[in-house]
Structures are given as C-alpha cells and as structure tokens.
C-alpha cells in the first residue's frame, strides 16, 4: 500500500474503526480508476466509464470510497447528498472478494459520511432481481419504497427503490453501532494489505 493512501484511511465519525485488519477504506482517487472500472466491467451490465467516475469525483456533495486489500482495489462505492437526503449511487465488490463483508464496510463508511452531512434519509435503486444486494441494504435499514419500471434499459429490468428513513435518530445510530461491532469482531479474511 502507498503511504499516502494509508494516511487517508477513512475513520468513521464515531465508534470503532470499521476498516478491519486486512481491508482499508480510503477515498477514491484517479489512480484507482483502472481497477475500479475492471471490477465495474465484471459486475455491472452497463459499466460506468473512467470518464463518468472522473466527473463524479469532480462533483460536489459526493463521496467515493474504495476498499483496498492484498495490495489491490477490491471494491468501491459512492454516495451523493442533497436536500437532507443521501443517494447511494454505486456499490460493488470484486467477485473474488464478495461475501467477506467488504460491501458492508464500504456501505457503513458511506452511510456515516451521509449522516455527517446532515442526511435524515438515504435512498438507492437496485435491480429487482438483485436479492443479494437487497439483503445487504435491508441490514442497513433500507426498505422497499417503490419501483421504476424498465429503469435498467439494457436488460429492461425494473429498479426497486429503497429508503432508509429517520437515519438521524438514535435507533439508527444503534443499528450502525451493531453493524460496526460485528464487522470489527469478524475482521476480513483472505489477504494482507
């Protein structure tokens, strides 16, 4: 790992360090984009281009993070905030690193940043058939709130709109604390940074 990336590790605003022993969550930089778009190409039917990520990185009110492990980028995600709401724009994990809590660690850091920005609600769209991602989002308090028919034009798949409400309330802070504690206890296996 490069020293400057080590220094940029995201420390959640409160509670335990959720980076885990082998996975570090850091701000997405231009130098990560080749790895990011490689993962994007592997997991997304309509992958974002490097240009699209660059314009997201240049925009205000957004935060993009990558997860690094074993000397490589293994996942990434982003959130955009506005009008007291946070919109998770993307979340993806290298197939070789899935089901090792990388997505949870990324989402936790994104949600915590959204809360720091004053969000009282969080939303996202997810493919109707993507039950794995929906299970992850439910763990973070997201519930189905509507459908955008044919939102994913390339596959003509509907989007499920999910919302997590009242995220500035103490009950949601408790939910995040429990998630963070579980992640700290579990660590993440499978590589040295």
Ligand X SMILES: CC(C)(COP(=O)(O)OP(=O)(O)OC[C@H]1O[C@@H](n2cnc3c(N)ncnc32)[C@H](O)[C@@H]1OP(=O)(O)O)[C@@H](O)C(=O)NCCC(=O)NCCS
Q: Does 98 bind ligand X (CB under 6 A)?
A: yes
Which candidate in 125, 154, 169, 174 is catalytic?
A: 125
Rounded (10°) angle between helices 50-58 and 33-43: 120
125 an active-site residue?
yes
Options 28, 33, 79, 102; binder of ligand X; rule CB under 6 A: 102
* Residue ranges in 43-62 that form contacts with ligand X under rule CB under 6 A: 43
Options 18, 101, 110, 122; binder of ligand X; rule CB under 6 A: 101
137 an active-site residue?
yes
Q: Does 104 bind ligand X (CB under 6 A)?
A: yes
Options 93, 111, 122, 180; binder of ligand X; rule CB under 6 A: 93
* Closer of 77 and 81 to ligand X (Cβ): 77
Which candidate in 64, 137, 152, 172 is catalytic?
A: 137
Q: Does 91 bind ligand X (CB under 6 A)?
A: yes
Interface residues with ligand X (CB under 6 A) are 43, 91-93, 98-104, 126, 130, 132-133, 135-136, 139
């Amino acid at each position: 790992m490069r020293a400057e990336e080590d220094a940029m590790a995201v420390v959640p605003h409160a509670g335990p360090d959720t980076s885990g022993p082998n996975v570090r969550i850091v701000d997405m930089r231009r130098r990560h984009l080749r790895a990011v778009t490689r993962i994007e190409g592997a997991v997304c039917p309509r992958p974002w281009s490097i240009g699209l990520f660059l314009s997201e990185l240049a925009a205000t009110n957004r935060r993009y993070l990558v997860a690094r492990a074993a000397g490589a980028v293994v996942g990434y995600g982003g959130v955009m905030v506005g009008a007291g709401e946070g919109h998770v724009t993307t979340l993806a994990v290298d197939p070789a690193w899935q089901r090792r809590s990388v997505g949870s660690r990324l989402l936790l850091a994104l949600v915590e940043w959204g809360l720091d920005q004053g969000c009282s609600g969080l939303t996202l769209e997810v493919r109707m058939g993507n039950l794995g991602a929906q299970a992850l989002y439910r763990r973070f308090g997201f519930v189905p709130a509507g459908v955008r028919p044919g939102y994913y034009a390339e596959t003509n798949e509907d989007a499920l709109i999910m919302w997590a409400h009242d995220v500035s309330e103490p009950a949601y802070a408790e939910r995040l604390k429990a998630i963070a504690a579980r992640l700290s206890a579990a660590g993440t296996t499978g590589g040295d940074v």
